[in-house]
Amino acid sequence: MSAEGINGAGDWRTRVSGDGFVAEVVVSPFNQRLQVITYAGPKLPEMIQALTEESSGRGFSKVFMKAAPADQADLEGAGMAAEATIKGYFGIDEPAVVMSAFLNEERRLQPVLAQQEDILEAITVRPPDASVPPLPAGYAMAVAEPADAEELAALYREVFASYPFPITSPRYLVETMASHVVYRVVRDESGAVVAAASGEMNLEYRNAEMTDFATLPSQRGVGLAQHLLAALEADMHEREIRQLYTIARARSAGMNRVFYNRGYELTGTLVNNCHISGRFEDMHVWCL
């Protein structure tokens, strides 16, 4: 494994195992959490105890995982809580339950919960509108290629003060383009990249997270995110990806409105799940 770990952000993957369980996890110092990628074995309470001890020993404050519904009761008995559901994650009729364990009370706190609730109320008071306005004159959208990586990374650096994954690294963008991520960009009349987003595919389970949406502040309000989402949905359909979802910043009225209008359903909120734009933030889960 390289010194950068699995994604250039200092994260790395490791295995935590014991008598009756094994879990593959991503260790994320930047997000101060352990994320379970896969797990197996009958002794789930023992697994959660081992994971929380591992996380606590590193000074982290959250463990989270996408679990099978059949395991929810055992995981709750071990101190985890269900925060959201991802419809059809494991199969057409097989959702995932996003379970979390908090290792300190500060990570549980939601100081702007009322503001987030007001945002949702303002969004959902009207019926969804899936229409996509035309791109501004002279603008064009395309699937990003490796040659676009430097400019795409620069866009992400300008939009986000921090991000849970290293999308500001051209190397990371090129590597993920080659494996499991479709990036799309919008260029203005001068040819400059002014907005972007991606579809991150789980090729084993045929689902995708619609993510990495970014628009320059000067370009907001003309529907570029709607264009990107509609195009990425078509890209995923062409690749026979059957289930789409997103994890959107709860403080972002614009992005939550985009997914609501496209017919996505709010299925839960992940509390202080990741470090983005300079702080830990709650993330809403929306499923199509």
Helices (H), the chain: 44-57, 72-77, 105-108, 113-124, 149-159, 170-177, 224-238, 253-261
**How many CA atoms does the CB half-sphere of 197 hold within 13 Å?**
24
Mind listing the pLDDT tens digit of every residue in the chain (288 residues)?
233 344 445 788 999 999 999 999 999 999 999 999 999 999 999 999 999 999 999 999 999 999 999 999 999 999 999 999 999 999 989 999 999 999 999 999 999 999 999 999 999 999 999 999 899 999 999 999 999 999 999 999 999 988 998 999 999 999 999 999 999 999 999 999 999 999 999 999 999 999 999 999 999 999 999 999 999 999 999 999 999 999 999 999 999 999 999 999 999 999 999 999 889 999 999 999
Q: Look at residues 80, 89, 115, 95 and name the one whose alpha carbon lies nearest to residue 282.
A: 115
pLDDT at 21: 97
* Cα–Cα distance measured from residue 83 to residue 110, given in angstroms and rounded to the nearest whole number: 14
Domains, the chain, ranges and CATH? 12-108 (3.40.630.30), 113-287 (3.40.630.30)
**Which stretch of DSSP H or E encloses residue 21?**
strand 21-28
**How many CA atoms does the CB half-sphere of 199 hold within 13 Å?**
26
> Taking a C-beta distance cutoff of 8 angstroms, is the pair 62, 103 a contact?
yes
Four-point Cα dihedral 49, 52, 56, 58, nearest 10? 110
pLDDT at 2: 31
pTM of the model: 0.93
- What's the length of the chain? 288
DSSP 70: G
* All residues at 6 or more sequence positions from 271 whose CB lies less than 8 Å from its CB, including other chains: 83, 100, 102, 107, 108, 110, 282
* All residues at 6 or more sequence positions from 254 whose CB lies less than 8 Å from its CB, including other chains: 220, 225
Q: Look at residues 202, 198, 205 and name the one whose alpha carbon lies nearest to residue 232.
A: 198
> Taking a C-beta distance cutoff of 8 angstroms, is the pair 69, 109 a contact?
no
Four-point Cα dihedral 99, 279, 113, 96, nearest 10? -20
pLDDT at 3: 30
* Cα–Cα distance measured from residue 147 to residue 134, given in angstroms and rounded to the nearest whole number: 26
Q: How far is CA 261 from the centre of its chain?
A: 19
